[in-house]
Amino acid sequence: MIKKDKLYNVVSTLCSEESYSEVAFRNRFDKQMPSVEELGKAVELLRSVLFPGYFGSADFTPVNQHYFIGSNLNKVVEILNEQIKRGYCFICPEDKKDCDKCDKKSKDIVEQFLEILPSLRHLLVTDAIAAYEGDPAAHSPSEAVFCYPSLRAMINHRIAHELYKLAVPLIPRIISECAHSETGIDIHPGAQIGESFFMDHGTGIVIGETSVIGKNVRLYQGVTLGAKSFPLDSDGNPIKGVPRHPLIEDDVIIYSGATILGRITIGKGSVIGGNVWLTESVPPDTRVILGEKCIIRKPEGE
């Protein structure tokens, strides 16, 4: 049993003004933080709505499809109404009355988000087919839907991106970080990604906020679409929101470990070799490979 003084002293210190800082203590106690767990549930439910029969309870059948999709979607609405409101509250000025605004904004956005779902499903189906076509180890698009990290990451991303476009704060980022943690794929919710997108293996892929990716693009593990540098404002803080990541045109393949940096364009149909470090635009149909092969030292006497 710990000595009473020890415990009380530490608690007092941790509650003291000296240990206090705006960062360590959230001082808007009347506003709840978004719940990562609830957002995880919303994504689970959306997955079951977009791909019924794969995910969610095993009881989906043609008989009950309206009820299954309807009730799951209604739960999504409930969760997002609350969580998006909390996202707005996270950044709104402290005056409490604003929170009615946050509430209203949240509900408007959820209604808009709902209408996008059919097109989201269409996009994700193209991603599943791309996975099947791009991976010789895949047996069917269904297998990709059910267990490929690329699809898991893209479901989260395409949801997060729609919320990002609707200017929802914080929530898209949380949804993306969930996929990041599960798959090792880090796509910023701001990234624009066209149909039929596939990431093989995926671990270590990074796609920055202002990236724009065309149709039918394939990335391998460890690819970075990053920023080369970013301008600072007069206070030395990075200026937010400036386009600083690559434009990848249709039909591009980028092999593992390649790094593409800055607001450059990779032309349609180009192929970027593994481990390449690229900071300038290339025209369509270009092949970029490592400049120098490695040195092979055979054993002595050979």
For a copy of itself, the binding residues in 149-178 under the rule CB under 8 A are: 149, 169-170, 173-174, 177
77 binds a copy of itself (CB under 8 A): yes
13 binds a copy of itself (CB under 8 A): yes
SS (H, E, C) 51-108: CECCECCCCCCCCCHHHHHHHHHHHHHHHHHHHHHHHHHHHCCCCCCHHHHHHHHHHH
Q: Within 180-219, which residues bind a copy of itself (CB under 8 A)? A: 180-184, 186, 188, 190, 201-204, 206, 208-209
CA atoms within 13 A on the CB side of 8: 3
58 binds a copy of itself (CB under 8 A): yes
299 binds a copy of itself (CB under 8 A): yes
The CA distances from residue 263 to 90, 185, 193, 282, in Å, are: 31, 21, 16, 12
Residue from 36, 42, 81 nearest 181 by CA: 36
CA dist 212 and 190 (Å) reads: 9
User: What is the smallest separation between the CB atom of 128 and a copy of itself, expressed in angstroms?
Assistant: 5
| Nearer to a copy of itself (CB atom), residue 101 or residue 289 | 289
292 binds a copy of itself (CB under 8 A): yes
Q: Within 214-233, which residues bind a copy of itself (CB under 8 A)? A: 220-222, 224, 226-227, 230
Strand-pair partners of 200: 220
53-61, 98-106, 155-163, 211-219 -> range binding a copy of itself (CB under 8 A): 53-61
103 binds a copy of itself (CB under 8 A): no
| Nearer to a copy of itself (CB atom), residue 101 or residue 182 | 182
The SS3 call for residue 216 is: coil
Contacts with a copy of itself, 17-36, as mask; x by CB under 8 A: --x-xxxxxxx-xx-xx--x
95 binds a copy of itself (CB under 8 A): no
CA dist 59 and 40 (Å) reads: 21
Q: Within 239-278, which residues bind a copy of itself (CB under 8 A)? A: 239-242, 244, 256-257, 259, 261, 273-278
How many CB atoms sit inside 10 A of residue 32's CB? Answer: 13
User: What is the smallest separation between the CB atom of 255 and a copy of itself, expressed in angstroms?
Assistant: 8
Burial of 166 (0-12, 13-18, 19+ CB in 10 A): middle
